[in-house]
Structure 1
Amino acid sequence: MRELAAAYAARVPSLDAHGLMDGLDGVQLRFMPMGQRDGAYDPEHHVILINSQVRPERQRFTLAHEISHALLLGDDDLLSDLHDSFEGERLEQVIETLCNVGAAALLMPDALIAELLERFGATGRALAELSRRADVSASTALYALAERTPGAVLYAVCTRSRLETETDDEDGGAASGTALTVRVSGGSAGMKYTLRPGTPIPADHPVQAAFESNLPLTGPSYVPFRSGRKMPAEVDAFPVRGRVMVSFDLNGRGGT
């Protein structure tokens, strides 16, 4: 699937919406409200539908996903292998996964990721640049970058979110507050650990300092697991638009 998508990306004139569609002869692109659905490919009527009410970066990834459906349906050998190996709901799940793989390969080709890793290393800056240049969500960029990062590196996107915290008032109730937490994380093949969504960032951590100062920070620190365990790592925190793109590099094993 990745090879199909990469070959398709190489022959279209550009990776914007019109350029991406150029390789599908006779297929129309339409934007319309679709409720909870992001998009669909209708091979009978030769049309790709995109939900006009979702975020632009989501529309872009959905378009690449639906193009991947068209590519998959056009490859008889791949389709035959899938139908020989899976059936029913499992077949549909595998097809959706493959189309996500295809979408990532279309929008974030290996050459782009290799360029960013060579220029910035396995850093939060590389994650931010990939999201910006590919015009995809930070979470989509995170998984693609992690998949192609050598060694043991954990990436995370951190944002401020609302928490329910216990108070010491006489009513014993709960008061709402906000804290910087992990929104999404993912590791390279050499990384055995991850951070659960909602994991709070300690007040004295470099990620918190980068968020508050809006300045990039790099240095030895640790992975802040929810359990309280502190795994030494080189931390690179890159703030952008109210979020912090982070890498925890265990190859360097920074001290605490």
Structure 2
Amino acid sequence: MSGSPVIRARSLNKVYGAQGAEVHALRDVSVDITGSTLTAIMGPSGSGKSTLMHLLAGLDRPTSGTVLYDDLELSSLSDRQLTSLRRNLIGFVFQAFNLVPTLTVLENVLLPFELGGTKPSGEHREWILERAAELGLMPLLERRPHQLSGGQQQRVAIARALAIRPRVIFADEPTGNLDSRTGVEVLAMLESATREQDQAVVLVTHDPAAAAWADRVLFISDGRIVHDVGRTDASTLSEMVLELGGAR
């Protein structure tokens, strides 16, 4: 792994429910997310992997513990400040694509700027179009989401995530709605973001074949990180997931 920490999480706990009916989704989790690295988070259903992603991305607040971007502690920010941080530093790619159906491909890609009340500079817009070209989107810029295949829609979502030049990209099951070939293409694009743009990518997945693309794989079980391994083949990852599932 390379790069310095982009996110530092310390002693994260997340508890849902009232006393007597509490669910401990995360238990004392500490982890660094480094730049230029693709990190996968795996674990059985209900293990806490999505909760961890939501806390790291500032989409939810921990019951206790801290999440820091450089020296900026997320729990100290107001909702408005958190929204601004997510808009300027974080890119999101979701399984459901989350494209606006009434907007064109180009308008969807530029949506983060529209929501922020800003416009990319001429140089930045040219950079965005270069990324769109790499993703094969140039012939599709005037189409709307319903005119695209699932793989094309996911490429638009990736272009939108890249558009702001975020420090970190969170991808939640980004290949779940795609065929295997398109899924491989999407994973290759996310991996290239760590190589070409020096970004951190955090991939939440249940798919060992997807996690095998990662430089690092975190396994969560019962709200705790139980394994932290380097690049590992899909069959070994599959065995590790099955062991965790069987132990629950």
TM-score, normalised via structure 1 length: 0.29
TM-score, normalised via structure 2 length: 0.29
